[in-house]
Amino acid sequence: MFLGHTIDDIFEHIEGDTEVIAVLDGQWPVEPIVARDRLTLVYFPESIGQRASINQAVRLSQARYIFKVDAHCSFDQGFDVKMMEEMRDDWCLVPLMKNLHAFDWVCEDGHRRYQGKSGPCQECGKPTHREMVWRAKPSPNSTAYRFDKTLHFQYWGDYKKRQKGDTPITMSIQGSAFMVTRDKFWELELCDEKHGSWGQQGVEVACKYWLSGGEVHVNKKTWYAHMFRTQGGDFGFPYPNPGISKARRYSRDLWFNNKWPKAIHNLDWLIEKFSPVPDWDVSKGILYYTDHNVDPKIMEYCQLQLKRAAGGSRIVSVSLQPMDFGDNLHLELERGPLTLFKQILTGLKELDTDVVFFAEHDMLYHRSHFEFVPSKRNRFWYNINVWKMRYTDGLAVTADFWQWTSGMCAYRDLLIEHYEKRIKMVEENGWNRRMGFEPGTHNRKERVDDYKAKSFRSDVPNLDIRHGRNLTHSRFDPSKFRNKKYVKGWTEAYEVPGWGETKAILKEIDQGWQPKESH
């Protein structure tokens, strides 16, 4: 639906003899595309996939340089000439990347809501229409990228301090815009269709350039702005999520096992070149699970905050209905303890990171939570810096020793061992609450195993939203706790450190706003 705006923007800002080849992969654009002399439209009645589409477009071009871009981007004036002026034949070159403010939802009274899900005005309830803004946001200005130990794309803000010059190097690229020579495109097979339809393109391009003796650079003299997927179901992934899972499996086999025949270096060489690279000692992933028994506004707000706090770590979501969040798997099961344990085990087996952080649909996670690295492999670790917030009035409470599954992390192999045994026990003997939900936190005979738990405290707390439909009971009165160790340090407030006033957060949730950048 944004293709026409992208093409218009390109022709408005190019200054060279640049042609545009746009591939309509199985679908006509929502709005007609304006015909131009240097525009070629390629239409496939049935989708052939992103990589095959790019290859078909490059076959139609006779240009020296190929600049692949996504269909929802805006550009700097003269970006094409500025890119070609800095280009080298053995380089992959990317512009500085901004975020694109593409549109707002506007009602007849003029109330505006930033791009996201459609629906009535949150202020007056009147219908809204999409009004295009198409403006590059002033920040962030991204120039440094990498991939983690699972070959999952990551931004790399810390590496900016090590970049030098107007065209610094970067370990990887984001994939939505990059320039290469047409000869190198074919020589390196930059869109290898063995990956599948879609996914891992940034890793593929970067690895093929670096490991074949080329280089990957960022042109800080020009920019493009990319619109990222927002929540709400109006638009999302261009191809099914399983496609990216296939691409990642193929990519890991290709690079971890040194199977690319044109490489003169291996992957270890690249990691050493950019060392130290985060996550290559201990990789981290996030397991998100939901039974959907929560107000959609709460779920969406928590998802947006989780994506921001995760810092690019891979998120695997396991749900009871299909959903567009992370790499989604869904189980057709009824809500309950056994289902919860099966969701967790399913997600653990899909992830392949060293450490796994658990994440729930009604918890607000701060980025400092995911900075923790467990020091022991045979322990379950709980972040005890957590507040409970009552959804009805914003009352928040905390204590010194709360160990909840929603704040747990551990090494993946330990978690798989535990949950396989837990599921077997429940299937054979039925669910017993004395088994407990939190691994390693008690010594009752009903426990699953003898592994112990340890605690850590993030710099800023996590915030647990208690909304009346939580799987576990909510207690906001210290007299309701039989074990008094759980009320040691009991504190009540309407303002939480690092988050601000709780009533402001509730207002943001109710009105469908995004969490603040500071979180």
Residue ranges per structural domain of the chain: 3-273, 284-510
Predicted pLDDT at 470: 63
Residue 322 DSSP symbol: -
User: Any idea which fold 284-510 has?
Assistant: Spore Coat Polysaccharide Biosynthesis Protein SpsA; Chain A (3.90.550)
Predicted pLDDT at 278: 79
Name the packing angle between helices 241-256 and 201-211 (round to 10°).
20
Predicted confidence band at 59 (pLDDT cuts at 50, 70, 90)? very high
CA distance 509 to 387: 17
The mean of the pLDDT values for the chain is: 91
- Number of Cβ within 10 Å of residue 35's Cβ equals 7
Domains 3-273 and 284-510 share a fold: yes
Consecutive H or E run containing 455: strand 452-456
Is 518 a residue whose pLDDT tops 70? no
Predicted pLDDT at 321: 94
CA distance 33 to 313: 37
Which superfamily does CATH assign the domain made up of 3-273 to? Spore Coat Polysaccharide Biosynthesis Protein SpsA; Chain A (3.90.550.10)
Averaged pLDDT for residues 112-141:
92
Predicted confidence band at 50 (pLDDT cuts at 50, 70, 90)? very high
Instruction: Give tens-digit pLDDT for 293-347.
Output: 999 999 999 999 999 999 889 999 999 999 999 999 999 999 999 999 999 999 9
Instruction: Give tens-digit pLDDT for 184-202.
Output: 999 999 999 999 888 899 9
Predicted pLDDT at 232: 52
Averaged pLDDT for residues 418-433:
96
Amino acid identity, position 141: N
Averaged pLDDT for residues 273-291:
88
- Number of Cβ within 10 Å of residue 481's Cβ equals 13
CA distance 207 to 266: 9
Q: 23-31: long-range contacts at Cβ-Cβ below 8 A with a sequence spacing of 24 or more?
A: 23/53, 23/54, 23/56, 23/57, 25/49, 25/50, 25/53, 29/1, 29/3, 29/4, 30/1, 30/4, 31/1, 31/4
Is 126 a residue whose pLDDT tops 80? yes
What are φ and ψ of residue 377, in 5° steps? -80, -20
pTM greater than 0.75 (yes/no):
no
Averaged pLDDT for residues 426-430:
96
Averaged pLDDT for residues 177-183:
98
- Number of Cβ within 10 Å of residue 321's Cβ equals 11
Instruction: Give tens-digit pLDDT for 209-260.
Output: 999 999 999 999 999 999 986 545 566 656 655 467 788 889 999 999 899 9
